[in-house]
Structure 1
């Protein structure tokens, strides 16, 4: 029996995925989570064979959860299941230790097959997405620039971003300027949007 922890912040999607996987004779959904923190707690407690994780969740996102899961329970394989088949997300997922990456408009059969193949020790990725990821290259942003853009995405002022990240106003301005330059954007809002679309945040 393949024991699966399922994490998605949308209850309807989570329930539908759990029901679909539950129909398989060799797969059991042993826990469901609605946030990154809940997913991590469930994996640590249950130590499942596979964690099926969405990217965009409240709190810790699925890509950060993937890295933590692989460090905490190395035997647990991670499959990213997301609406957003972005090259940047794919690259970060692979870098953080994911064994599979599927988009939610895949067929149910493909998702089930992915869970089985990942459990067997294989990697399952979309060839077109892998090629696009290689073509677009790695994120040029530093970790701090990503932090600042994440905060800027929420519309905070320089002072608010500085307070949230325990930085000086000048340091925040420098990081924003660098991020705007690296993304080729005209404003910090545009830089955050570009970075998000490319999966760099």
Structure 2
């Protein structure tokens, strides 16, 4: 199985690659320090699987997964993360990723997950899947869009102009968002949504 490891922390990238190379049926054919480089290597080397961190410079692991899906590329993506944010997980599922594991998973667990993925299965850390079931994103796509613009510092009228809505409708959206997130104010609403990965 030919694998690419994409991780922006050099020491972790090197350690992960070295450990995977010890597996009899795994060959690390490339390493990338950011998402752009990962995408380039995948297109050049056509590996079976790419193991990717979510938060990388230039392109995130999820951006790369989405681009591969657009291109209908056969490389399978396994996300390795420290984040158990539901928004990330939902976006990853939409992007067609095959694995979603925690970085502190034992290496044999990662090896088994790669084998499962290569044969067409999916591998998701049990701890992650449990927390995702418990915390479903309560915001609609439109509410996420409004909150994203609030987070950028736009006023209700500016948001209204951007989304072709009335100022009153935007204010209604904002109060609905705060109610759903049980937030006292806009700042708290943004903070709750960001913490859960609900702001794309």
Deviation at 1:188? 3.9
Relative to structure 1, is the Cα distance of residues 194 and 59 closer, same or farther in structure 2, using a 3 angstrom cutoff?
farther
Separation (CA, whole Å) in 1 of partners of 2:191 and 2:116: 35
CA distance, structure 1, for counterparts of residue 44 and residue 109 of structure 2: 28
Q: How does 1:47-86 map to 2 (within 5 A)?
A: 47-86=46-85
Q: Which residue of 2 aligns with 1:118?
A: 117
Instruction: Find the partner of 2:154 among 153, 158, 166.
Output: 158
1:191 to 189, 192, 195: 189
In 2, the alpha carbon distance for the partners of 1:26 and 1:150 equals 47
Q: What corresponds to 1:17 in structure 2? A: 16
Q: CA RMSD in A?
A: 3.1
Residue of structure 1 equivalent to 2:35 = 36
- Contact 2:98/2:122 (CA < 8 Å) preserved in 1? yes
- Farther off after superposition, 12-21 or 130-139: 130-139
Q: Which secondary structure state, in structure 2, belongs to the residue aligned with residue 4 of structure 1?
A: strand
- Cα distance in 1 for partners of 2:40, 2:195 equals 29
SS in structure 2 of the partner of residue 158 of structure 1: coil
Flag structure 1 segments of 5+ consecutive residues without an equivalent: none
Change (3 A) 1:55 1:42: same
Question: Deviation string for 1:140-194 (max 9, x for gaps)?
Answer: 2527845963893xxx6438xx8xxx959x999x499365455333344433321
Mark the CA change 1:30 to 1:150 in structure 2 (over 3 Å): closer, same or farther: farther
Distance, in Å, in 1 between the alignment partners of 2:134 and 2:144 is 22
Q: TM-score, normalised by structure 2?
A: 0.78
Measured in 2, the distance between the counterparts of 1:171 and 1:41 equals: 43
**Alignment length (residue pairs):** 192
